[in-house]
Structure 1
């Protein structure tokens, strides 16, 4: 058994012993379940000489454009052997990560979700109640707390929870959201309740399965759980499918397939509940106007689900979004609401993830875009390149950088900000200055293109006098001379329209 001391004064964290059994893994929350990494693909055959000159690299034609190579080239993240499977996002990678979360948070306002923050550690008692300890224990990290040792019999007799009881780091959010729901009395007028959560999750993946961002031990999800009445199931599922389509469209991933996974051979619950749930999912799928297929018997043991499998630019298939119904957790946690007639009823839970693992989504987008991020998501949106080493030109370049970054609202060479703190509504962008000594202007421009910077802004004596910059796009296209304010407005429009 491997053990890691997290804090000698509080908790002892250890890996549960891993037992590998063929075809016995029974994930409890499939909406929170990462998909296995795809089998390695053979490198594509070399292109003929004539094609090499005319065809730009793409994820399907260049083997060096896998997400791990892109991450190294762009300085997005690193991983240490001292914490395998846990990612250190570097500043550029953190910008992408935070923008993905900010994007989802904006949509939550539109689709009626409320964000919550839940603990990452719970007592074993909770996991036994939810069914995870029985069905998922081998994939969880065990944590032991220090407390009232030797009081087990007395505590059990008095119905108390032990302070030194075994804990588990959460592999998914659903039990915690059930506790939030159960913390107050609920009426049918309160439903649906939609809780969203970006808290980090931990799963004890086998070390041999760890791979870049696609298979990790610590990760984040755009995880959400909808508590609704049976009559609301169809509309909630239909709204979620529209949400999925909107997100994939923004990411320019419109090619995806829908699958309905039905009741497996071994299931829990009443047959009538299953038939009602599958009927609701079918009705919601029909509202999309898209073709969908059935995976007979592929549902979770506690409810049917919809799997969404998308295709990237290279034709690779990834399961990210999942929507599933759950009639069992409400019973396990004794969740209730009072209906219009004053009767006590149990809600239905919809487990829902659109991006799935945020880390895996980043990997998919890296390869889908070949590292050429759209401006709104890009970690390096612009670089200002002074044409000369004249001090006044370099000072002007730095003033342009501050204005386009949003740090100042005017073009000034003053180094101190005019106000001590930025307003919450200020739009900021990542813009840096490359005034490297010993490098020609052409070399600095080429290096910016190599780093996949969206715009290179060249400034010299003329631009300084005109309050402008010479704009060059990532593909080398000359966009001409623009004022600094025109460039800032262009940035605002690109971000506003997700370009």
Structure 2
């Protein structure tokens, strides 16, 4: 017998009693599943140990896991009915944050998004028929025979990976059978509102040497209203896709002949990036950071000491041979900064030392996960390492977090969500180190009155951290700043400083990136502003449009004067209609358009249109310059 607690009542039941039968005893009605010791179970899952059970009802946040898992199976059944049971081979079909996907191989057929409506219709038929969804537990041999008969080669591979101690279960609906742990709704007719959204490729088991399967994505909610709202959100997100905007605004390019995941910054992107980097350097100088520059490659011995070759090698590009020694392109800047710190004996009087670098690193990412600027193989981290004494830790963390929030606000972000990740089971470092580090993180966040959550046990083995997420214009959260303690590398590299007692002491080391990477942050900015970057960041701040060729000389005079004031200006001298040139400037999201005609030439004034403020009318050059500089100085969005 086992003891189960449901809504404050305790019951003694036979081991293996299903959750549904326990609910009958407890007179719980309407639940579609339950949280059993923190895990989500469906009504058919046997309970094998004493547990606290929290019922899950339709509409509870956890209920979406059950709904979405079931829709993945309904989609798999639909695929088999459309394309042939023996021709469709199933991989895995998990849930996502807002829906589900299934990785499949379909012999001789490559799906496109034009096929999605047909699959949706078949799914709706299966839902309409309201097939019961039944769980069955089978032994390993029966499972092998079943999936051999079904010609499910990928499921057979999964069975081989299942531990001998684990239960093997299948779920059946009509004549469709799938290997699955659950959870599922009781019948297909209970499925809510869904929409298949897109298709991508995915290597089996994430291994580029294995077959490329087709991944079909869907989103799902209980009611159609929520689904419609989410679809509208997706439409808005699609308009803001930084890959589309980057191409249209001529910011960046990813050329397959150069290499997937390697970014080419076009001239306008180069201008934008210079502005961003100059700002970054100025702000760091104000706060006492010292700039360093480090190589793009390092000897294998460096990566052995740092531990990267033991723990991170799959994410590193293959080595190159140089005079009988191996060199790797760097995935991190940390070991180089440590080498700079160790270049001479350091005194406690020098600390904290803050070494900063816009350091480009390279990481081997699978081609299937590359995504514009958001996931690349070469990127520039706004990296810094702070080396300090234990007594300085609290002030350093407070100052660093304050710096991060200040910088993010300058880019127009106002809402933040902070996560503090604490000591995991496999942690290194002393209890004293962890307590000092975790307390300093909490104090810094609380002193700034920021909304935060504790990710209990979620820290890296080498130290706790703060992650700062920013909320964009359409409500999405993006991971941005990270402040990470490291108790590992100071030990590995034997970092020390001379204390007041003239003895050697181990310093604390803190990794921090405020923007994360220039590439990813640019992608976030483009989507946040839908491409209409604030005037201080815009590659072109003013476009001058002469109405005809005779207005070109005056336009060029204006260009020279505006450039002399440090403003970024270009002239559209094409022989095009005025409306066409104005429309092009608006499509390029240029903050200010200056139209020059006879009146402007005669009066020595400017006719100015602002993307954000509308028509400013006829104003003097001096007033326009003052207006522009004020907006730039205030970093007005």
CA drift at 1:472: 0.9
CA–CA separation in structure 2 for the residues paired with 1:43 and 1:106:
47
Give the alignment partner of residue 289 of structure 2, picking from 99, 104, 113.
113
2:560 is the counterpart of 1:402: yes
Q: What's 1:213 paired with?
A: 373
Q: Does 1:102 align with 2:278?
A: yes
Partner of 1:377, secondary structure, is coil
Deviations 1:214-263 (A, max 9, x none): 00000001100000001111111100111111112111211111111011
Cα displacement string for residues 250-291 of structure 1 (whole angstroms, at most 9, x for unaligned residues): 112111111110111112222232222222222222221223
Asked if 1 retains the 8 angstrom alpha-carbon contact of 2:380 and 2:517, the reply is yes
Aligned to 2:635: 498
Alpha-carbon distance, 1:42 to partner:
6.2
Change (3 A) 1:66 1:42: farther
Measured in 1, the distance between the counterparts of 2:402 and 2:309 equals 34
Whether 2:600 is the aligned partner of 1:463: answer yes
Change (3 A) 1:476 1:304: closer
Q: Does 1:448 align with 2:623?
A: no
1:181-330 aligned within 5 A: 181-330=341-490
Unaligned runs of 5+ in 1: 1-17, 23-38, 48-56, 148-163, 407-426
2: distance between equivalents of 1:19 and 1:477? 53
Residue matched to 2:524: 364
Q: Structure 1, residues 67-93: CA drift from partner, whole Å, max 9, x if none?
A: 111111111111111211100010111
Give the Å deviation of 1:137.
0.7
The one of 430, 433, 458 equivalent to 2:568 is: 430
Residue-by-residue CA offset, 1:93-113 (whole Å, 9 max, x unaligned):
112222211111111022211
Superposed, 1:139-158 pairs within 5 Å as 139-147=315-323
- 1:334-359 Cα shifts (integer Å, max 9, x gaps): 11111112121011101000100111
Say if 1:59 and 1:314, in contact at 8 Å, map to a contact too: no
> Residues 32-69 of structure 1, C-alpha deviation per residue, up to 9 Å, x if partnerless?
xxxxxxx988699x99xxxxxxxxx9987362221111
Secondary structure of the corresponding residue to residue 363 of structure 1: helix
Change (3 A) 1:304 1:475: closer
Report which stretch shifted further, 179-188 or 251-260. Answer: 251-260
Does 1:78 find its partner at 2:253? yes
- CA 351–489 in structure 1, closer or farther in 2 if over 3 Å, else same: same
- Counterparts in 2 of 1:100 and 1:212: CA distance versus 1, 3 Å: same
Aligned length: 419
Q: Separation in 1 of the partners of 2:582 and 2:206?
A: 55
Contact 2:497 2:507 in 1 (8 A): yes
What secondary structure, in the 3-state scheme, does the structure 2 residue paired with 1:394 have? helix
1:449, CA displacement in angstroms?
1.3
Normalised to the residue count of structure 2, the TM-score between the two structures is 0.63
User: 5+ residue gaps in structure 2?
Assistant: 1-202, 208-215, 226-231
Per the TM alignment, residue 297 of structure 1 is displaced from its structure 2 partner at its CA by 0.9
| Structure 2 CA distance for partners of 1:84 and 1:242, relative to 1, 3 Å | same
1:480 counterpart residue number: 617
How far 1:428 sits from its partner (Å)?
2.2
Residues 403-446 of structure 1, C-alpha deviation per residue, up to 9 Å, x if partnerless? 1122xxxxxxxxxxxxxxxxxxxx52221111211x22122112
Q: 1:261/1:41 Cα in 2 relative to 1: closer, same or farther (>3 Å)?
A: farther
Normalised by the size of structure 1, how large is the TM-score? 0.79
Q: By percentage of residues, which structure has more strand? A: 2
Q: Partners of 1:361 and 1:185 in 2: how far apart? A: 37
The reply on whether 1:90 has 2:254 as its aligned counterpart is: no
The answer on whether the counterparts of 2:416 and 2:451 sit within 8 Å (CA) in structure 1 is no
- With 216-225 and 396-405 compared, the bigger mean Cα shift is at 396-405
Name the counterpart of 2:307. Answer: 131
1:374 aligns with 2:513: no
Partner Cα separation in structure 1 for residue 613 and residue 281 of structure 2: 34
**For the pair shown, which has the larger CA radius of gyration, 1 or 2?**
2
Give 2:243's match in structure 1, choosing from 55, 68, 83: 68
Mapped partners of 1:187, 1:40: distance in 2: 57
What is the rounded CA distance, in whole Å, between the counterparts of 2:282 and 2:406 in structure 1?
13
- Residue by residue over 1:166-218, the C-alpha shift from the partner in whole angstroms, topping out at 9 and shown as x without a partner, is 11111111110000000011101000000111121100011111110000000
| Distance in 2 between residues matched to 1:363 and 1:43, nearest whole Å | 27
Does 1 or 2 have the higher relative contact order (CA < 8 Å, sep 6+)? 1
Measure, in 2, the Cα distance between the counterparts of 1:208 and 1:318.
Answer: 21
In the alignment, the residues of structure 1 paired with residue 621 and residue 450 of structure 2 have an alpha-carbon distance, to the nearest angstrom, of 45
Please report the RMSD computed on the Cα atoms of aligned residues, expressed in angstroms. 2.6
Conserved in 1, the CA contact under 8 Å of 2:240 and 2:528? no
Give the drift of 1:21. 8.3
SS across alignment from 1:175: helix
Runs (4+) off by over 3 Å: 18-22, 39-44, 57-60
- Pair 1:287–1:42, CA change in 2 (3 A): same
The answer to whether the 8 A contact 1:383-1:433 is kept is: yes
SS in 1 for 2:490: helix
d(CA) in 1 for partners of 2:611 and 2:544? 13
The residue that corresponds to 2:511 in the other structure is 351
User: Cα offset for 1:484?
Assistant: 2.0
Instruction: Quote how far apart the aligned CAs of 1:293 are.
Output: 1.4
